[in-house]
Homo-oligomer: A and B are copies of this chain.
Amino acid sequence: MHRHDGHDACRTDAHDMLARAEAVCRARGLQFTPLRREVLGAVADSGKAQGAYDIAERLSAPGRRVAPVSVYRALDFLMEQGLVHRIASRNAFIPCAYDHAPGEGVIFLICRTCGAVDEASTQEVEDGLERTLERAGFTPTHSILEVEGDCGLCREQKRTP
């Protein structure tokens, strides 16, 4: 389930992601435009969650300015297609490396040290969550589960510095 270690670039992942994104868009009859490709590439390239303004800055160059609003639009598209997730507690975005089943929940594991964000399945918490909501008489439409802490690699490094 681990995708980024945050200590080592993982361009293969980024490359695979772009290929998958292209396939997804083609299958759905949607445009995987250069801008969308670049934005997804920027998100996938760094091992950590990226803010929209960071992405805009990264894509800008002398002679070419990418405005944040353009990045937001691309991110909206990518999120709708399930290619990118938004991390509410960080106002930041990560690429999604998985094919989530529709309605499937996700837990985001956010490393406070290296900034990497991993995804885990909600499988083991779903029953308990459902019971809790049922008891409260609450009908859910959307859940956010974000856990901050130390990823395995950072924990190792702290133990032997």
Q: A142 near B148 (CB under 8 angstroms)? A: yes
Contacts of A155 in B (CB 8 A): 137, 139
> Copies of this chain, how many?
2
> Does A132 sit within 8 A of B, measured CB to CB?
yes
> Does A30 sit within 8 A of B, measured CB to CB?
no
> Which of A11-19, A33-41, A117-125 interfaces with chain B?
A117-125
> Does A100 sit within 8 A of B, measured CB to CB?
no
What is the interface of chain A mostly: helix, strand, loop, or mixed? mixed
What 16 additional pairs, Cβ within 8 angstroms, besides A1-B135, A120-B138, A124-B132? A118-B136, A118-B138, A120-B135, A120-B136, A125-B132, A126-B128, A128-B128, A133-B147, A133-B149, A138-B147, A140-B148, A141-B148, A141-B150, A143-B147, A144-B144, A144-B148
Q: Which residues of A contact B (CB under 8 A)?
A: 1-2, 88-89, 107, 109, 111-112, 118, 120-129, 131-133, 135-152, 155
